[in-house]
Amino acid sequence: MTAISVSHLGKSFGKVTAVDDLSFDVPSGAITAFLGPNGAGKTTTLRMILGLVTPTAGSATVHGLPYRRLDRPLQRVGAILEATAFHPGLTAGNHLEAVRVAAGLDASRVGHVLRQVELEAVQGRRIGGFSLGMRQRLALATALLGAPPVLVLDEPANGLDPDGIRWLRGFLRAYALDGNSVLVSTHILAEIEQIADHVVIISGGRLRWSGGLESGAGLEDLYLEATR
């Protein structure tokens, strides 16, 4: 089963080719690490998967459909993109409730996602006073509101301290063990090495390597070889 399929995807910004004839599949029920150096084209690819950037070539589908054609998209795919903006005056609970109502989701979902990301204790506090790590957890809670079977995360460990990174790893592993699918980008191998089942490595907008990762296989060697 394939959760996300990227087929001959390309994107140019003027003379800059950000993504070039890129094809890969994200298997269901697994964690796929999306790796590459800064500027490799990871964010542009994820934004095309989420229908936020229009490709200049090729296509990307989630469970067989382009994102923009998904019925109830928040219940199909949850996403964390770089630099998620929140209204600083809202409390975490207010924010989640507003998204829940707009998406027509069940009232029980807010409490559920607050427990999932362990933010219940601060749900009444204003987001303006949140640390970067708390904001990342709130972004994850927002992504989980629709109980989606697929998560797309762009550098989700940015701003997390070592405890936060460990917590996120444990969360993603449990989420995938429940049969859900994760595509997570990072340029820091250590963040993902212990939990990735599958790896896609890009550089200069092009695919360099993709495949399953045997536990214990040296991701660093693979990465250095692929991006050389």
Ligand X SMILES: Nc1ncnc2c1ncn2[C@@H]1O[C@H](COP(=O)(O)OP(=O)(O)O)[C@@H](O)[C@H]1O
Binding region for ligand X (CB under 6 A): 13, 16, 18, 36, 38-44
Nearer to Mg ion, 77 or 153 (CB): 153
203 scored as a contact of Mg ion (CB under 5 A): no
Report, in Å, the least distance between residue 53 CB and ligand X: 8
Partner touching 16 among ligand X, Mg ion, none, CB below 5 to 8 Å by kind: ligand X
Q: For 9, how many CA atoms within 13 A lie in the half-sphere containing its CB?
A: 30
Neighbours of 73 (CB within 10 A): 19
Q: How far is CA 26 from CA 84, 106, 128, in A?
A: 24, 29, 35
Amino acid of residue 93: G
Nearer to ligand X, 27 or 39 (CB): 39
Partner touching 72 among ligand X, Mg ion, none, CB below 5 to 8 Å by kind: none
Report, in Å, the least distance between residue 16 CB and ligand X: 5
43 scored as a contact of Mg ion (CB under 5 A): yes
Report, in Å, the least distance between residue 155 CB and Mg ion: 6
Write the CB contacts of 61 (distance below 8 Å, at least 6 apart in sequence).
4, 5, 7
Nearer to ligand X, 91 or 203 (CB): 203
Nearer to Mg ion, 188 or 224 (CB): 188
By CB under 5 A, the count of residues binding Mg ion is: 2
Nearer to ligand X, 42 or 95 (CB): 42
**Cα 217 from Cα 3, distance rounded (Å):** 24
The answer to whether the CB of 145 falls within 8 A of the CB of 99 is yes
Piece of 3-11, 40-48, 61-69, 117-125 that binds Mg ion (CB under 5 A): 40-48
Closest CA to 174 of 154, 151, 155: 151
Partner touching 127 among ligand X, Mg ion, none, CB below 5 to 8 Å by kind: none
* Per-residue contact flags (x/-) with Mg ion for residues 147 to 166, judged by CB under 5 A: --------------------
Nearer to Mg ion, 123 or 186 (CB): 186
Place of tokens 């303006």: 128
Among residue numbers 103 through 132, which ones bind Mg ion (CB under 5 A)? none
The answer to whether the CB of 87 falls within 8 A of the CB of 95 is yes
Angle between helices 92-103 and 132-144 (to 10 degrees): 20
Write the CB contacts of 17 (distance below 8 Å, at least 6 apart in sequence).
10, 11, 205
Place of tokens 């993603």: 172
Partner touching 149 among Mg ion, ligand X, none, CB below 5 to 8 Å by kind: none
Contacting positions for Mg ion (CB under 5 A)? 42-43
